[in-house]
């Protein structure tokens, strides 16, 4: 990302945090591609019966940002952490709604998209993961945030460390321990 663009993003984030609604409209074209990549990463892990599309997930994040109160954000990484939390909630709510359908909710969806058919990404039960993350947050909130930022937000170790204001080594350690804890919980 060009240095000038990074400065524009930071300036717009601060303006939006101060209540400038126009700043969010100017910000979204600058961060859209990165949000879309993050959403695509999550959608690849979704169950085959998921009908939510990547673009719809990004649009839903945008609608929640526009419809809610401006969120005080410190920088680009913090903004993407907020968006990661929103994506997690949207995907979890969508999975709950899908599972609660009375008719046809458990019918197998056959995707026509070749990319989905050849995807080797492991499928994740979002409801079970959400429950396990909620339980982990009771035990260790920082480890739960590390998982949320890395898994749902697509942030790398350095960005996660920046958001949580810890060292990259701490993020590595928390990530490893949280994965072990979650695997045990989900087993």
pLDDT in tens, 19-39: 887 888 898 898 888 888 888
Q: What does the H/E/C string look like for the chain?
A: CCHHHHHHHHHHHHHHHCCCHHHHHHHHHHHHHHHHHHHHHHHCCCCCCCCCCHHHHHHHHHHHHHHCCCCCCCCHHHHHHHHHHHHHHHHHHHHHHHHCCCCCCCCCCCCCCHHHHCCCCCCCCHHHHHHHHHHHHHHCHHHHHHHHHHHHCCCCHHHHHHHHCCCHHHHHHHHHHHHHHHHHHHC
Mean pLDDT of 88-92: 86
Please tell me the predicted confidence (pLDDT) of residue 68. 76
Give the rounded percent of residues in the chain with a pLDDT score beyond 90: 16
Q: In the chain, where are the structural domains located?
A: 3-186
Please tell me the predicted confidence (pLDDT) of residue 173. 94
């Amino acid at each position: 990302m060009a240095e000038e663009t990074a400065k524009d993003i930071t300036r717009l984030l601060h303006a939006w945090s101060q209540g400038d609604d126009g700043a969010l409209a100017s910000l979204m074209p600058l961060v859209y591609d990165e949000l879309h990549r993050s959403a695509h990463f999550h959608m690849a892990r979704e169950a085959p019966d998921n009908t939510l599309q990547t673009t719809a997930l990004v649009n839903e994040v945008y609608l929640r940002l526009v419809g809610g109160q401006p969120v005080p954000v410190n920088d680009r990484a913090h903004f993407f952490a907020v968006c990661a939390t929103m994506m997690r909630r949207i995907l979890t709510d969508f999975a709950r709604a899908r599972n609660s359908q009375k008719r046809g909710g458990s019918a197998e969806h056959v995707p026509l998209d070749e990319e989905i058919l050849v995807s080797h990404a492991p499928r994740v039960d979002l409801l079970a993961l959400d429950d396990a993350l909620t339980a982990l947050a009771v035990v260790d909130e920082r480890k739960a945030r590390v998982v949320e930022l890395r898994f749902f937000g697509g942030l790398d170790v350095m960005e996660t460390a920046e958001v949580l204001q810890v060292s990259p080594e701490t993020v590595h350690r928390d990530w490893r321990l949280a994965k072990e804890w979650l695997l045990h919980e989900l087993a």
